[in-house]
Amino acid sequence: MWTDVLDLNEFYSRPLGQMTVRLLRARLRDMWPSVKGETVLGLGYATPFLRPFMEEAGRTLAFMPAPQGVTRWPRKGPNHTAFVEEMDLPLPDRSVDRVLLVHAVENTEQLRPFLREIWRVMADGGRLVSVVPTRAGLWSQLDRSPFYQGHPYSPGQVANLLRANMFAPLRQGRALYMPPTHSRLALRMAPAIERFGQRWLGRFAGVSVIESGKQLYAGIAERTANEVVTVRPKLRIAASRDTHIAARNEDGEAPAS
């Protein structure tokens, strides 16, 4: 069941919501240090976390599913949000380089078809980051948290869901070790609590932040004893644009295709 967009908007306008954005943005930047020239899509309620990518991305989109509702974003300038059906995204195949899921995985009632639709619109070298509430964290257990609504997952469950829908988990982080409280003292201490949690508290984080790549099928030629060539499908992970750029910089020439 999707959380109403007005409730999410209200939460993120408050001090606790603003601190939540600050802490999660740090984890997202670790995952995506650069999105220069790429198309970035936020799904669910991702708008508070897309702002740092707008200036460098070639295009930034924010899709909000119909059961959740939609609000304009940003407040000034051209609108970047759209009201969509989660199983029918209004994008061509392989048209998006980066996809950010926030308040989406735990809320959709049709997770597998939803992930397959994301797979369709992602470019072959695309990257998906999923922000998902954890079972052991307080953020999925207290109703003042925007991650209270929906179904929490363990990091292993999220990884298995991604693999089952042709995504390969690449990196996993955690965030939101501070409790979801409006206490001013706790909010001031939040960055210190986050650093302590990253080092010592492990699985008690409020959310998992998992980056995954798009899996593709590649044909592999084989010869049998009778010299008959057959083709066997094998999964591989599409190389990201960053990988190609790194190879070009290291060797002084474009990598072989």
> Model confidence over 42-52: pLDDT tens digits?
999 999 999 99
Residue carrying the six token digits 């984890």: 27
203 and 76, same structural domain?
A: yes
76 and 203, same structural domain?
A: yes
Mean pLDDT of 86-97: 96
235 and 189, same structural domain?
A: no
Residue carrying the six token digits 């392989």: 94
Alpha-carbon gap, residue 99 to 85, rounded angstroms: 16
Mind listing the pLDDT tens digit for each residue in 28-71?
Answer: 999 999 999 999 999 999 999 999 999 899 999 999 999 999 99
256 domain residue, yes or no: no
> Given this model, what pLDDT does residue 89 score?
96
142 and 105, same structural domain?
A: yes
Separation in Å, CA 11 to CA 66, 72, 182, 204? 20, 16, 11, 22
Mean pLDDT of 186-211: 94
257 domain residue, yes or no: no
Higher pLDDT, 239 or 254: 239
- Mapped onto helix, strand or coil, the DSSP state of residue 60 is strand
13 and 40, same structural domain?
A: yes
DSSP H or E run through 8: helix 5-12
Domain CATH for 102: 3.40.50.150
> Given this model, what pLDDT does residue 231 score?
46
> Given this model, what pLDDT does residue 242 score?
56
On average, the pLDDT of the chain sits at 88
**Domains of the chain: total:** 2
Looking at the DSSP bridge assignments, the partners of residue 257 are none
Q: Which residues form the domain of 137?
A: 5-214
Mean pLDDT of 225-230: 48
105 domain residue, yes or no: yes
101 and 76, same structural domain?
A: yes
188 and 78, same structural domain?
A: yes
Name residue 37's amino acid: G
Name the pLDDT band for 257 (thresholds 50, 70, 90). very low
59 and 159, same structural domain?
A: yes
| Residues near 129 by beta carbon (within 8 Å), at least 6 away in sequence | 28, 31, 32, 98, 99, 100, 101, 209, 210, 211, 212
> Given this model, what pLDDT does residue 165 score?
94
124 and 175, same structural domain?
A: yes
95 and 138, same structural domain?
A: yes
Higher pLDDT, 225 or 198: 198
Name the pLDDT band for 240 (thresholds 50, 70, 90). low
Q: What is the pTM of this model?
A: 0.86
Mind listing the pLDDT tens digit for each residue in 116-171?
Answer: 999 999 999 999 999 999 999 999 999 999 999 999 999 999 999 999 999 999 99
41 and 163, same structural domain?
A: yes
